Amino acid sequence: MVANLPKIELHLHHEGAAPPAFIRQLAQEKRIDLSRIFKPDGGYAYRDFAHFLSVYEAACQVLTGPEEFRRLTLAVLEESAANGVVYSETFLSPDFCGGGDVGVWREYLHAIREAADEAERTHGIILRGIVTCIRHFGPDKARPAAVCAAETAGDWIVGFGMGGDESVGRQGDYAWAFDCAREAGLRLTTHAGEFGGPDSVRQAVHDLGVERLGHGVRAIEDPGLVAELAQRGTVLEVCPGSNVVLGLYPDFAAHPIARLREAGVKVTVSTDDPPFFHTTMRREYQMLNRAFGWDEDDFAALNATALDAAFCDEDTRARVK
Ligand code: ADE
Ligand code: ZN
């Protein structure tokens, strides 16, 4: 059963992994009316990608302190571990953890780290953090986010990235933030080739110098770019279930992950924001098995690629089982 294999997940948004019941509970505790973001069945309600981003931000309104992030981290890692994830890199945003103030950011990180240590003891799952700026908040917000990243680089903060609305500006507008993070020793990834086309992927690789891409799947629209990604060894953090729910592709069978892999591009599999997209790592594996016949050997190879591309140090890599 492919779904039971141990898994490496490289692309998971910390807040986006918050179970809706958890956010609803916090909203009740804080007497904040968030009923508009929930469907009658309890799941998150949104119409399209732009609306998804605004519901996401609304949910973050109740994550107002380190204690909330401690609880969130425990909930997220328990769910990941239940899905067989043994190593996870999650995106953490200073914009949602203190608004870019380094001192407050450290307090959030301390709480998240304590929860991660507890989850590692209880479930064996290892967490590493990728600090992320949010593209539609603009370059002026990305700079303090990068400073937060640089100030806390090392140990378990291993990377810097960018999520958010890829249609805003150009990747290169954020070069200062990425340079700052790189100089602090952080490894780099950015969302590209999700809602942006091949040009956005080229900008990410050439103007930001990232070694991994969040999604990257729309590179398939340009065979020359696919060849370049394969030749460079750029790793794609592919989230097929997310892409299907957000309407990029009608179903798993139409998703380009298999074609990218056949063309020699390094692909890995993640969930992005699992409760928003009604998915889990087990489900992603099951759906890929059904769509493309991928078996245990295929997933073992995918996980080897992911472990190799993980931003952690060698000692940590050696501990991942
Ligand atoms: N933030 C959370 N999920 C995202 C996605 N799929 N694309 C861009 N930014 C995100
Ligand atoms: Zn993402």
Residues 37 and 184 in one domain: no
CB 299 within 8 A of CB 270: no
Q: Both 57 and 7 in a single domain?
A: no
Domain containing residue 99: 2-18+66-319
167 with 100, same domain?
yes
Give the tens place of pLDDT for each residue, 193-246. 999 999 999 999 999 999 999 999 999 999 999 999 999 999 999 999 999 999
The answer to whether residues 24 and 14 belong to one domain is: no
- Our CA angle for 137, 142, 147, nearest 5°, is 150
pLDDT at position 81 is: 98
Are residue 56 and residue 167 in the same domain, yes or no? Answer: no
pLDDT of residue 37: 97
321 pLDDT exceeds 80? no
Q: Write down the pTM of the prediction.
A: 0.98
Residues 139 and 250 both lie in one domain = yes
Do 113 and 207 belong together in one domain? Answer: yes
198 neighbors 236 (Cβ within 8 angstroms): no
Answer yes or no: is pLDDT of 1 > 90: no
- The answer to whether residues 241 and 311 belong to one domain is yes
**Closest ligand 1 atom to 195 CA:** 7
Instruction: Report pLDDT digits (tens) over 14-59.
Output: 999 999 999 999 999 999 999 999 999 999 999 999 999 999 999 9
Q: Nearest C-alpha to atom 9 of ligand 1 is from which residue?
A: 164
Q: If you measure from the C-alpha of residue 113 to the centroid of ligand 1, how many angstroms do you get, rounded to a whole number?
A: 23
At 155 the pLDDT is 84
Kindly report, residue by residue over 236-279, the tens digit of the pLDDT.
999 999 999 999 999 999 999 999 999 999 999 999 999 999 99
Tens-place pLDDT, residues 168-185: 999 999 999 999 999 999
> Are 29 and 105 in a shared domain?
no
> Rounded distance, CA 116 to CA 126, Å?
7
Do 95 and 168 sit in the same domain of this protein? yes
Q: Which residues are catalytic?
A: 194
Cα(209) to centroid of ligand 1, in Å? Answer: 20
List pocket residues of ligand 1, CB cut-off 6 Å. Answer: 13, 16, 56, 163-164, 191, 194, 242, 272-273
Residue 128 CA: distances (Å) to CA of 153, 164, 201, 263: 11, 20, 25, 30
Can you tell me the distance from the alpha carbon of 77 to that of 56, in angstroms, rounded to the nearest whole number?
Answer: 19
Number of folded domains in the chain?
2
Tens of pLDDT along 113-139?
999 999 999 999 999 999 999 999 999
Nearest-atom index, ligand 1, CA of 166? 8
Q: Are residues 57 and 152 in the same domain?
A: no
Mean pLDDT on 83-94 = 98
Ligand 1 closest atom vs CA 191? 8
